[in-house]
């Protein structure tokens, strides 16, 4: 187990020239050379200016990543596809080179170390099992490589000392290694078991017992189910007893039921071993249920680092609020009127006192109101409630999801004089605004039914439309990445 520290990491990839420019370059060279069969244009070296242009055209994948993963922590990296989370994992593993910054594992700076010297084990999305090896040999592969790397060199540095004890020991170790490999395909009773091979066997069977795959040790990967392959991949990483586990979307190829079961197994396993774990996923459910802390990423930058419940209750910006949650947060543009009144053409809502101070500087300005689907409920007609019509109904058994649109014919006749002059919102456009709501399955409704949605004022979120940053009540401090 070890702490992992990422300090000001940057990663860029050079942008490749487009095919069109390459093709045009080839055609021009052909025209200049005349007969293609007898003449060829020598490739010209890129000038200093061309190199500078190429450097400026590089694609920035990660920017200013600062992160500390505590010893024994289960940290989840979550974000949409292309946000850089898998690239960050590969940088830690040593599979990609850094553009700038430092990576520390424990007390070691590992920037220049090859992957095998970082004491890190990685579980890939596609399992990466050797198809010609049995489960046993897949689990033992990394351990045997470790033993091979630690074996003394075959030739002595000084021929005069060829009969010394270290040289004899090296020859003995090499002979044992060869004999072990030659007899490995034989039944157990006829194999030669060196001391190292006995240690490997002991460790493999310990891991197999923990993962409950003892009965699978003699099978090939093609004879395993998806869940069994995933456990073997986890076991291969566990067998080395590394300081850090890296997991790159290991459950994405499993069906829903198996994903839930394997998710619980990984969490329980990490708690048992206490190994520092960095887990990458794009699934918000996995992130919320597995991680001690979650790092939300977007466009190569960290948006927020916090516990699951903090991310849900107090997102730092609109992206985090919209991305986290099984149903996306609803957003409506509202105007602020002191001390704590927000106005929309369909409703007006007075907020709790904790909002009075932060809303003073937004007097007369627009903010984005965010409200999660589970914090809306069906109520009675009232100026503070939102009039809507049902567009779609999704019955899931445990709950029902409704997609609704703002009802123009309902709020047009409301006696809300301030709303008519609030300005800034065109009434016809409001009919295109849709909201999502989660209700109990016991509540019946039908498509095109008129409803009034009640907003829980204690569960609302406000965002500055100019920056997308959250506006927080007075008793809360913004949670910045650390």
Distance of alpha carbon 339 from its chain centroid, rounded?
Answer: 40
Number of neighbouring beta carbons within 10 Å of residue 423: 9
Q: Which two tokens stand for residue 61?
A: 């994948």
SS3 141: helix
**Closest-CA residue to 479 (of 238, 230, 261, 313):** 313
CB 143 within 8 A of CB 242: no
**Closest-CA residue to 323 (of 334, 311, 332):** 311
Instruction: Count CA atoms within 13 Å of residue 93 on its CB side.
Output: 20
CB 450 within 8 A of CB 275: no
**Closest-CA residue to 453 (of 371, 382, 385):** 385
CB 3 within 8 A of CB 71: yes
- Identify the residue whose tokens are 């409920």: 377
The Cα–Cα gap between 189 and 186 comes to 8
- Identify the residue whose tokens are 């459950």: 251
CB 247 within 8 A of CB 230: no
Q: Work out whether the CA dihedral 153, 158, 164, 165 comes out positive or negative.
A: negative
SS3 337: strand
H or E element: which one contains 437?
A: strand 434-439
- Pairing status of strand 386-395 against strand 400-406: antiparallel
**Closest-CA residue to 156 (of 147, 172, 168, 148):** 168
Instruction: Count CA atoms within 13 Å of residue 196 on its CB side.
Output: 22
SS3 294: strand
CA distances 131 to 66, 141, 237, 351, Å, are: 38, 13, 17, 61
Q: Which residues contact 94 (CB under 8 A, 6 or more apart)?
A: 110, 113, 114, 115, 118, 120
Q: Which residues contact 219 (CB under 8 A, 6 or more apart)?
A: 134, 135
DSSP 469: B
Q: Which residues contact 367 (CB under 8 A, 6 or more apart)?
A: 333, 334, 335, 336, 342, 462, 463, 464, 465, 471
Residues of the chain with confidence (pLDDT) below 70: 16-57, 147-165, 190, 409-429, 476-482
The Cα–Cα gap between 109 and 297 comes to 24
Length of the chain: 482
CA angle, 29 then 31 then 37, to 5°: 85
The Cα–Cα gap between 74 and 123 comes to 15
The pLDDT value recorded for residue 416 is 47
H or E element: which one contains 226?
A: helix 226-239
Q: Work out whether the CA dihedral 237, 241, 242, 247 comes out positive or negative.
A: positive
Q: What is the pTM of this model?
A: 0.79
- Pairing status of strand 347-350 against strand 341-344: antiparallel
Q: Which two tokens stand for residue 165?
A: 């004890």
CB 26 within 8 A of CB 265: no
CA distances 279 to 10, 106, 254, 323, Å, are: 20, 18, 16, 18
Q: Which two tokens stand for residue 129?
A: 């099992």
Burial 85-95 (b: 16+ CB within 10 A, else e): bbbbbbbbbbe
CA dihedral 252, 254, 257, 263 (to 10 degrees): -60
CB 15 within 8 A of CB 59: yes
């Amino acid at each position: 187990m070890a702490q992992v520290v990422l300090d000001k990491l940057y990663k860029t990839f050079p942008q490749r020239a487009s095919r069109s420019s390459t093709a045009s370059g080839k055609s021009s060279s052909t025209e200049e050379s005349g007969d293609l069969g007898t003449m060829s244009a020598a490739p010209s070296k890129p000038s200093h200016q061309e190199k500078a242009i190429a450097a400026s055209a590089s694609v920035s994948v990660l920017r200013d990543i600062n992160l500390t993963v505590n010893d024994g922590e289960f940290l989840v990296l979550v974000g949409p596809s292309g946000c850089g989370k898998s690239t960050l994992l590969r940088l830690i593993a040593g599979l990609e080179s850094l553009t700038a910054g430092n990576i520390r594992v424990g007390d070691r700076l590992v920037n220049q170390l090859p992957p095998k010297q970082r004491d890190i084990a990685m579980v890939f999305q596609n399992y990466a099992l050797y198809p010609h090896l049995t489960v046993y040999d897949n689990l033992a592969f990394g351990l045997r490589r470790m033993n091979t790397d630690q074996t003394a060199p075959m030739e002595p540095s000084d021929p005069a000392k060829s009969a010394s004890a270290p040289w004899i020991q090296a020859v003995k170790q090499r002979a044992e290694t060869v004999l072990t490999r030659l007899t490995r395909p034989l039944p157990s009773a006829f194999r030669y078991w060196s001391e190292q091979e006995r240690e490997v066997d002991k460790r493999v069977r310990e891991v197999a017992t923990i993962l409950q795959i003892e009965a699978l040790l003699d099978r090939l990967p093609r004879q395993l189910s998806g869940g069994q392959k995933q456990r073997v991949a986890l076991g291969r990483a566990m067998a080395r007893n590394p300081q850090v586990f890296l997991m790159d979307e290991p459950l994405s190829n499993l069906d829903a039921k198996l994903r839930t079961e394997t998710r619980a197994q990984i969490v329980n396993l990490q708690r048992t071993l206490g190994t520092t774990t960095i887990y990458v996923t794009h699934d918000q459910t996995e992130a919320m249920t597995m991680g001690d802390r979650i790092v939300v990423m977007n466009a190569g930058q960290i948006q927020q680092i916090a516990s699951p419940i903090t991310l849900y209750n107090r997102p730092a910006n609109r992206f985090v609020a919209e991305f986290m949650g099984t149903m996306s947060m609803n957003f409506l543009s509202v105007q602020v009127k002191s001390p704590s009144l927000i106005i929309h053409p369909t409703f007006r809502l007075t907020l709790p006192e904790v909002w009075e101070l932060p809303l003073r500087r937004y007097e007369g300005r627009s903010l984005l109101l965010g409200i999660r689907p589970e914090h809306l409920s069906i109520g009675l007609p009232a100026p503070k409630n939102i009039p809507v019509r049902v567009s779609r109904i999704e019955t899931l058994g445990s709950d029902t999801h409704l997609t609704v649109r703002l009802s123009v014919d309902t709020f047009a006749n409301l006696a809300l004089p301030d709303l008519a002059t609030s300005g800034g919102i065109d009434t016809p456009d409001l009919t295109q605004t849709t909201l999502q709501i989660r209700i109990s399955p016991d509540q019946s409704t039908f498509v095109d039914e008129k409803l009034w949605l009640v907003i829980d004022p204690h569960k609302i979120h406000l965002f500055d439309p100019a920056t997308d940053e959250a506006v927080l009540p007075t008793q809360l401090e913004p949670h910045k990445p650390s």
